[in-house]
Amino acid sequence: MTTLVRASNLSKRFGHVVALDGVDLEIPEGRIVGLIGPNGAGKTTALKALLGLTSFAGELEVMGLDPRRERHRIMQDVCFIADVAVLPRWLKVRQVLRVAEGLHPRFSPERAEKLLAASQVRLDSRVGQLSKGMVTQLHLALVMAIEAKLLVLDEPTIGLDILYRKDFYTTLLNDYFDEGRTILVTTHQVEEIEHILTDVLFINKGRIVLDESMEQIGERFAQVAVTPEQADAARDLNPLYEQDMFGRKIFLFQDRSPQQLSGLGETRVPGIADLFVAKMKGAAA
Amino acid sequence: MSVMTTLLKRETWEHRAILIAPTVFGGLFILVAILAAAGAIHVQIGDGGVDLRAMLSSMDGQQIAASMQMQLASVAVFLNVVMLLVVIFYLLDCLYAERKDRSILFWKSLPVSDLTVVGSKLLTATVVIPLVTAIVFLATAIGIYLIIGTLALFAGSGAVLAAGPGAILDTMTAALYGVIVQSLWYQPLYGWLLLVSAWAKRTVLLWAVLPLFAVTALERMVFGTGLFGHLLGERLTGVFPLAFRPATDHIVWEFHEGGANASLELVESLSQLMDPGAFLLSPGLWGGLVVGILLSGAAVWLRRYRDET
């Protein structure tokens, strides 16, 4: 399997603030990776580093190229959406397509027009006149008409209605993603991307605190709802995190065998959001 | 479409003043010519104060051509001022607007180098806007020629129609030469405006002007000299005295009849005044180009490595 992105000891500071603190990561081809972290954790800085939009220390390779020196070559195989609000408002939709056609060698205007024909977006409208939902549709059409190896999304649905947010990810998964494509997405709205991810990267204070595939998460992490009487027995197993819910204690365990947990209650795989809270709070404790 | 063509098109889509401003003023000149022609006809029929026929017959072909050149040259000079204003405001806005509305993130998501992008903006200021202005001038000149030529024909003289094409060609040559020498001579100023546009967080116009005054004042206070101010003045006003030589021969036309008295000193041919040799040999041109490249290069560097979003 080809590795698209390889970073080792990636670091970046703004004055005294450490944005990235020795990040190591690898992103193989054909995955949908969620880079998840609280605000200010370093998500956007990491993305910007690999898109060549910011300086950094350490090693970083994107498709074998150095983003510091070969940015515009990398961008031939990368499609990047910062958030949907950055399309120039003065452009007409038709002109957006012309620009993409003229500037991106892997853009297919026919495909984009076909996709837009199925949407509410009219080719003669100016971007500034479109509703947020329509701008999202336009942006999606652009993305899906570019044959990119790596799609980078930085909080792509920020400011969108929940209806459009769901549409955005569903379309991406159904009509865009295949084995040849890789998607790297950051968000702090974990729930809305949970079901499409194949891999999860948690980042906090500039450090990667979790780097697992979804299968591994299912194997390594377990959540158990325990009656208060059994809480101490559960605590003996050294849980990652505990919380109260409806008169029960919810414990989250890492690397405990099913046999160890079976006596406590019903186990299930934790949601990414719960795991995220556990990891972040656990790290703080 | 090639990358550069697309980028240049994009500039005219964003900055519509590039096409609109010269066209509007060219159109105004045509309108003025039409109104003047209508006025002249009216005067003829009404009180007959100035006899157009007598006026025209007092001029020979050379005088008619020279006076047409003078009229067209005044149109060219006016459009030239419009062009410079369009260029200045375009350059100040071109790298600033994309940062202000954050669309720079969209442009940076496309596989085009910052050198190419900034290059397209400098090319727009240096070539596209002057070219648009030159084309508008040509169209305006032809329009004025047809209006005045037709008017003269009604007054019984075909001399204006006959002299026109030569006069237009000659003025057009001088005007084209004029915009080319300006584009080259002003490169350091254009580079400076690009740099300010790539750098300033707000009030670009202020940032473009204030440092120039500040450096001039500082130099006077610290060294008691005025070198920077002198260089700046030379840069702003020095191009035409350098690139054109003063006219030596004049064609004089005098007209006295009834209450009308006119006396004009005309230049036979504007294009004969062009002095490309002196311009190309001036150290100011080459020194300015070097400074211009450095300043534009700094703008490219800023757009590439600045991280503020």
**pLDDT tens digits, A42-91:** 888 898 898 888 889 999 999 999 998 888 889 888 888 776 567 898 99
Per-residue pLDDT at B49: 58
Per-residue pLDDT at A247: 77
pLDDT digits (tens, 9 = 90+) for B186-217: 999 999 999 999 999 889 999 999 999 999 99
Indicate the average pLDDT of chain A.
85
* Highest mean pLDDT pick, A239-248, A251-260, B212-221: B212-221
Flag if A100 and B309 touch (Cβ within 8 Å).
no
Per-residue pLDDT at A268: 83
Name the residue type at position B111: P
Per-residue pLDDT at B50: 61
The ipTM assigned to this model is 0.81
CA B199, chain centre distance (Å): 27
Do the beta carbons of residue A171 and residue A245 sit within 8 Å?
no
Per-residue pLDDT at B20: 95
Per-residue pLDDT at B298: 96
Pairwise CA distance, residues A140 & A114, whole Å: 12
Q: What pairing do the DSSP bridges indicate for beta strands A3-14 and A150-154?
A: unpaired
Do the beta carbons of residue A199 and residue A183 sit within 8 Å?
no
CA A2, chain centre distance (Å): 20
CA atoms within 13 A on the CB side of A6: 9
Measured between beta carbons, the chain A residues lying within 8 angstroms of B13 are 90-92, 95
Pairwise CA distance, residues A232 & A226, whole Å: 10
Per-residue pLDDT at A155: 82
pTM for this one? 0.85
Per-residue pLDDT at B117: 95
Nearest CA in chain B to A72: B111
Q: b/e per residue, B213-235, with b = 16+ CB within 10 A? A: eeebeebeeeeeeeebbebbeeb
Measured between beta carbons, the chain B residues lying within 8 angstroms of A100 are 110
What are the counts of helices (DSSP H) followed by strands (DSSP E) for chain A? Answer: 11, 13
Per-residue pLDDT at A6: 92
Measured between beta carbons, the chain B residues lying within 8 angstroms of A81 are 109
Flag if B2 and A102 touch (Cβ within 8 Å).
yes
Distance from CA of A232 to the nearest CA of B (A): 49
CB atoms within 10 A of CB B52: 18
pLDDT digits (tens, 9 = 90+) for A115-143: 898 888 899 999 999 888 788 888 888 88
Tokens describing residue B272:
């004969």
- In chain B, DSSP assigns E strands to 251-257, 260-266
The neighbouring-strand residues paired with B274 are B244
CB atoms within 10 A of CB A285: 7
Pairwise CA distance, residues A146 & A151, whole Å: 10
Who has greater pLDDT, A263 or B7?
Answer: B7
Rg, C-alpha atoms of chain B = 24
Per-residue pLDDT at A195: 84
Measured between beta carbons, the chain A residues lying within 8 angstroms of B105 are 80, 82, 86
- A233, pLDDT greater than 90: no
Pairwise CA distance, residues B17 & B20, whole Å: 5
Do the beta carbons of residue B125 and residue B87 sit within 8 Å?
yes
The neighbouring-strand residues paired with A28 are A3
Flag if B109 and A100 touch (Cβ within 8 Å).
no
What string of pLDDT tens digits covers the 309 residues of chain B? Answer: 689 999 999 999 999 999 999 999 999 999 998 888 877 766 555 455 566 777 777 777 788 888 888 888 899 999 999 999 999 999 999 999 999 888 888 898 888 999 999 999 999 999 999 999 999 999 999 999 999 888 888 877 788 888 888 889 999 999 999 999 999 999 999 999 999 999 998 899 999 999 999 999 999 899 988 889 889 988 998 888 888 888 877 788 777 766 666 777 788 788 888 899 989 999 999 999 999 999 999 999 999 888 765
Per-residue pLDDT at B301: 94
